[in-house]
Chains A and B, each alone.
Chain A
Amino acid sequence: MFTQQIINGLTMGSIYALIALGYTMVYGILRIVNFAHGDIFMMGTFFGLLLTQKFRFPFPLALILAAIFTALLGMLVERVAYRALRLSDRLVLLISALGVSIFLSNFAQLVWGTETHPFPSGLSVKSFQVGTVTLSNIQVYILILSCLLMIALHVFVHKTKMGVAMRATSHSINNARLMGINTDSIISMTFAVGSILAAVAGILVGIYYDAVYPTMGYTAGLKAFTAAVLGGIGNIPGAMLGGVVLGVVESLGAAYISSGYRDAFAFGIMIIVLIFRPSGLLGKKQQEKV
């Protein structure tokens, strides 16, 4: 039972981690919470559903195409709703982000209806028994794929020119600009990368629960944000750690304490972390200058 919950927790946790990366990367550069990220995640899932169901693309191709479309959507959102407001008051940006979030979730309702759609992956679900633990092949795919993506992201950020420019921009947007980095395209790229990870996470979770619906971005987004905060927002390894910790805690809480309050554990953790250690598990402290 306990090991089983850990496995389930790890599965969801790696999904949260993938979404959390999008929050944390954008925050790292722009110091804003991209409230629309949860809805971008939802849109990515619908793209995946559309490509596999309507257009009958083979799954790996559908996954890649959906990720590309979602990346474009993420870049579009940044261009339309955030770029002009970069220097505005935080609250103004936040409202704009909320506006995008409302727009996207209602757009999805309009196009695909409010009901929950099944997500047949074409994969036959196989479960196998390891001792007392039941593991499905989908869980294994989720764990493997998210590990691969996180490694890829790590390599991208540390070994490629674009990744280094991205890190430079997150240190100081002005210095990066002075160094000749095109910060606008770096920011755009950050949204693209975050959106790709969200789309993959969305498709994986869609298959895992066999369910896709327009409001799925809200709770998932909130929890992924919790994961980002838990790890230390702006910190990439932190987001991964935060996602996994959150997934496991939530899974154990739901199993041993109360399943009705499943989501409340996540939010409770978030509130406690923000109050007592706002810099998260791996983040650094900052002090205001007088």
Chain B
Amino acid sequence: MKKILEVDNVSISFGGLLAVNQVSLHQNKGEILALIGPNGAGKTTLFNLLTGVYQPTSGKIIFAGEEINHYKPHERVKKGIARTFQNIRLFPTMTVLENVLIAHPDCNSETVIPAVFGRKKLAQRRRTVVEECEEILSIVGLQDKLEELATNLPYGKQRLLEIARALATKPSLLLLDEPGAGMNSVEKEELTNLIYYISREMEKDVLLIEHDMKFVMNISERIIVLDHGEKIAEGNAQEIQSNPKVIEAYLGRGNFDDEE
């Protein structure tokens, strides 16, 4: 199987505290991979390392065969990595459609002179952008909310909008940070279908962090468990559920499906 992403012995420390310690993992092409672990295990930190918000203290991150450590966050997006945030970060005063439009590479790469003085060609280009973005919004089920301000959407729909925004960047790898947090069971069901669709039909690789074990076990083909910044287990749902290290990591600290 082809590896799309490789994390090679990556560590980062904040003021002496090792938030991620010598973690190595990989993601195969076409796979839905889940990252789980108790609170403070370093999952979101790992996302921030992958997207370039943080620089690793040591180790290499390889994406599509190329080491990407030195790329800035916005450059990694162009390479094909997109993400959502655990604490939703939409653009609140922009509409649903605008939130997605501005993520589209043909929209956010406009330059001043053509943007101000352009006519036919510009309109042509923008038409394609708008059509593609509206299509993405209909995939996540927000096609009726185009003019709504992002901030006025209910919580669950804001999560969907973040996914749509990430998709608009035309990624090959999609990082979802707790996409189901705050959703009810019906919404989670729909989310599961959406993630399947993104993986199977849109052929994106999906790496997700999630706390809801039922959801994770159900959707992911492979699971990696982090605890205290270290990788403690890796395998499919059954292997993980019966792994004594994993059980200890969770039981040692309380609830299995602990919310952050």
Contacts and interface: CB of A to CB of B under 8 A. Distances in A.
Direct contact of A and B (CB under 8 A): yes
Interface of A: 290
Interface in B18-55: 44, 48, 53
4 contacts: A290-B44, A290-B48, A290-B53, A290-B85
A288 to B, nearest CB: 10
Contacts of B85: 290
Nearest to A289: B87
List the 4 closest A-B pairs by CB distance, nearest first.
A290-B53, A290-B48, A290-B44, A290-B85
B50 to A, nearest CB: 12
A271 to B, nearest CB: 26
A252 B53 CA distance: 44
Contacts of B53: 290
Interface string B40-80: 00001000100001000000000000000000000000000
B199 to A, nearest CB: 26
Interface of B: 44, 48, 53, 85
Contacts of A290: 44, 48, 53, 85
A253 B52 CA distance: 44
A290 B85 CA distance: 9
A290 B48 CA distance: 8
A290 B73 CA distance: 13
A290 B53 CA distance: 8
B69 to A, nearest CB: 18
A290 B44 CA distance: 9
Nearest to B86: A290
A209 B44 CA distance: 59
A290 B46 CA distance: 12
A64 B48 CA distance: 56
A290 B89 CA distance: 10
B221 to A, nearest CB: 28
Nearest to B48: A290
B15 to A, nearest CB: 10
Contacts of B44: 290
B152 to A, nearest CB: 19
B249 to A, nearest CB: 24
B149 to A, nearest CB: 17
B198 to A, nearest CB: 24
Nearest to B45: A290
B53 to A, nearest CB: 5
Nearest to B47: A290
B162 to A, nearest CB: 14
A290 B83 CA distance: 13
Nearest to B85: A290
Contacts of B48: 290
B49 to A, nearest CB: 11
A56 B44 CA distance: 69
B31 to A, nearest CB: 26
A90 B53 CA distance: 25
A129 B72 CA distance: 62
A227 B52 CA distance: 36
A290 B175 CA distance: 15
A290 B84 CA distance: 12
Nearest to A288: B53
A290 B86 CA distance: 9
Nearest to B89: A290
B98 to A, nearest CB: 20
A290 B87 CA distance: 9
A2 B53 CA distance: 50
A18 B255 CA distance: 55
B175 to A, nearest CB: 13
A290 B12 CA distance: 15
A249 to B, nearest CB: 33
